[in-house]
Amino acid sequence: METTAAPTRPVPLHPGLPFLGNTIAFVRDPLSILHTLQRKQERIVHLRIGGRHQYLVFQPEDSKHILQENNRNYGRSPAFEVLKIFLGNGLLTSDGDFWRRQRRLAQPAFHRQKLAALADAMVAETADWLDTLNPSDIRQPINVSQAFMDVTMRIVCKTLFGSDTNGKLDGLSHALDSLNYLANSRMLSPIRFPMSWPTPHNQRSKRAQRQVDEFIYGLIDQRRQQHEDKDDLLGMLLSAEDEETGERMSDQQLRDECVTLFSAGHETTAVSMAWTTYLLTQNPDILARLQVESETILGDARTPPADAFRRLTYTMQVVQESLRLYPPAWIMSRRAREDDHIGPYTIPAGDTALVCPYLLHRDPVNWPDPERFDPDRFAPGGPKDQLHSYAYLPFGGGPRLCIGNQFALMEMQILLALFVRKFSVSGPPNQRIVPKPLITLRPNQPIKAILSKP
């Protein structure tokens, strides 16, 4: 097999500064470096970022090799250390046997039948949220980035933790947002003071973390006092027992899993929904087609039956195409345990391999006219179906595939269909948004839209 052939060539090194390598350029504008590298049409490129050697692959086959075929050779990269400070040792950041056990415990909460049972709650939460939005008065735009953060938080809270946000939404949303912002700036900063030092940055992080913890421990306590076994995610985590020792998770472990699912489960979906709205403000014909589909299939019931949403094929195509252009998880990194071979090249043990959905999704070989928003790429039997399965990776791949992928797709389909059934959207004049690659691919400023009756 080609990937195991003896290495014969050094990996092309992207030129950079002495000592700093490509760090400054990468921190300043990673997407433009990525585009430049893609145009060179190499199979793999060697970058030096943050004092580490990082190897970026471009081909779907090589991405599959790293994430799936040879996944046992790869662990969490040092980038996850920063996330660990905030999320603890939960599903996203943990590794090895501990991760495997936690994933086994959480997986049943995301099985197809379980998800189907959550659809009604998603529809009900979305309908309540839509009641709070009105057509924009005097064409005043609303901040859709924030609006979608609110609703995805309500949905995660209700569906996974069986709890209403009980009016604590503002504080929690603000605290999670601060944590996200602080984790980003720590990740990008060349100097990282230990968390125990009382710098203003660390103090703010700790305050936000306390607020999130208070909420999560509140959820756990509330459930314990109810003395009933619910089979939602929180119920499963609470009652899970180690097969060998019979031990249950400690409060700290429970907290880490809950914070992880909370953060991973609402921000990515909210950012995607905001990007989708942005794309629709620029593509009125696609918006009109979506509206016809949702009106025809859903009718005018406030909370249509969950079954109906599965028939919204064009809505799903719009969601998938939006995730192609703006994949929230724009890059994934892994640390090689042993040397790995990609064709004639070696990724040395201890160094980092990078797989980049953002580039895979914009490779003109697989996606002609890649910048164009064209949901028909995802039509049943259409161009996407002819591609390598790793040419499209919004949810990653292999054993670390996003545990919430079906949950997120269903949620976005429901949110989008009910949103466009109630509103037409247009952008404020001259709104030009560009992606800002932080931990997730965020817009460089909040996305705004003017809501009107369709």
- State the Cα–Cα distance between residues 403 and 380, nearest whole angstrom: 24
- State the Cα–Cα distance between residues 445 and 144, nearest whole angstrom: 11
Regarding 30 and contact with ligand HEM (CB under 6 A), the answer is: no
C-beta closer to ligand HEM: residue 105 or 286:
105
* CB of 31 closer than 8 Å to CB of 371: no
C-beta closer to ligand HEM: residue 25 or 274:
274
- DSSP letters spanning 375-439: GGGGSTTSGGGGS-GGG--TT--GGGS-TTHHHHHHHHHHHHHHHHHH-EEEPPTT----EEESS
- State the Cα–Cα distance between residues 91 and 111, nearest whole angstrom: 17
Cα Rg of the chain (Å, integer): 22
Please pick, from the candidates 403, 447, 449, 450, the single residue that binds ligand HEM as defined by CB under 6 A.
Answer: 403
Regarding 410 and contact with ligand HEM (CB under 6 A), the answer is: no
CB of 81 to ligand HEM, least distance (A): 14
Angle at 340 between CA 330 and CA 57, to 5 degrees: 30
Regarding 264 and contact with ligand HEM (CB under 6 A), the answer is: yes
* CB of 359 closer than 8 Å to CB of 41: no
Please pick, from the candidates 269, 294, 320, 366, the single residue that binds ligand HEM as defined by CB under 6 A.
Answer: 269
Regarding 162 and contact with ligand HEM (CB under 6 A), the answer is: no
CB of 265 to ligand HEM, least distance (A): 3
Residues marked as binding for heme? 402
C-beta closer to ligand HEM: residue 103 or 204:
103
Range 98-107 contact pairs with CB under 8 angstroms and sequence separation of 24 or more: 101/242, 102/257, 103/399, 103/403, 105/236, 105/237, 105/240, 106/233, 106/236, 106/237, 106/257, 106/261, 106/403, 107/403
C-beta closer to ligand HEM: residue 43 or 103:
103
Regarding 415 and contact with ligand HEM (CB under 6 A), the answer is: no
Binding mask 91-120 for ligand HEM (x = CB under 6 A): xx----------x-----------------
Total residues in contact with ligand HEM, by rule CB under 6 A: 22
Residue 127 CB neighbours (<10 A)? 16
Please pick, from the candidates 165, 260, 317, 346, the single residue that binds ligand HEM as defined by CB under 6 A.
Answer: 260
CB of 76 to ligand HEM, least distance (A): 8
C-beta closer to ligand HEM: residue 103 or 341:
103
**Residue closest to 224 by CA, chosen among 176, 164, 154, 162:** 162
Regarding 276 and contact with ligand HEM (CB under 6 A), the answer is: no
Regarding 400 and contact with ligand HEM (CB under 6 A), the answer is: yes
Please pick, from the candidates 318, 354, 408, 414, the single residue that binds ligand HEM as defined by CB under 6 A.
Answer: 408
C-beta closer to ligand HEM: residue 26 or 358:
358
* CB of 124 closer than 8 Å to CB of 155: no
CB of 100 to ligand HEM, least distance (A): 9
Please pick, from the candidates 38, 272, 281, 413, the single residue that binds ligand HEM as defined by CB under 6 A.
Answer: 272
Regarding 396 and contact with ligand HEM (CB under 6 A), the answer is: yes
- State the Cα–Cα distance between residues 10 and 17, nearest whole angstrom: 19
* CB of 47 closer than 8 Å to CB of 21: yes
C-beta closer to ligand HEM: residue 314 or 407:
407
What number of residues does the chain have?
A: 454
**Would you give the DSSP letter of residue 3?**
G
C-beta closer to ligand HEM: residue 375 or 396:
396
Residues marked as binding? 402
CB of 298 to ligand HEM, least distance (A): 22
CB of 309 to ligand HEM, least distance (A): 16
Give the interface segment with ligand HEM, choosing from 175-183, 239-247, 266-274, 426-434 (CB under 6 A): 266-274
CB of 351 to ligand HEM, least distance (A): 17
Residue with tokens 């569906």: 159
Binding mask 315-354 for ligand HEM (x = CB under 6 A): -------------xx--x----------------------
Residue nearest ligand HEM by beta-carbon distance? 404
* CB of 445 closer than 8 Å to CB of 416: no
Regarding 404 and contact with ligand HEM (CB under 6 A), the answer is: yes
Residue 428's identity, in one-letter code, is P
- State the Cα–Cα distance between residues 409 and 412, nearest whole angstrom: 5
Tokens (6 digits) for 194: 């230990």
Q: Can you give the binding site for ligand HEM, defined by CB under 6 A?
A: 91-92, 103, 260-261, 264-265, 268-269, 272, 328-329, 332, 394-396, 400, 402-404, 407-408
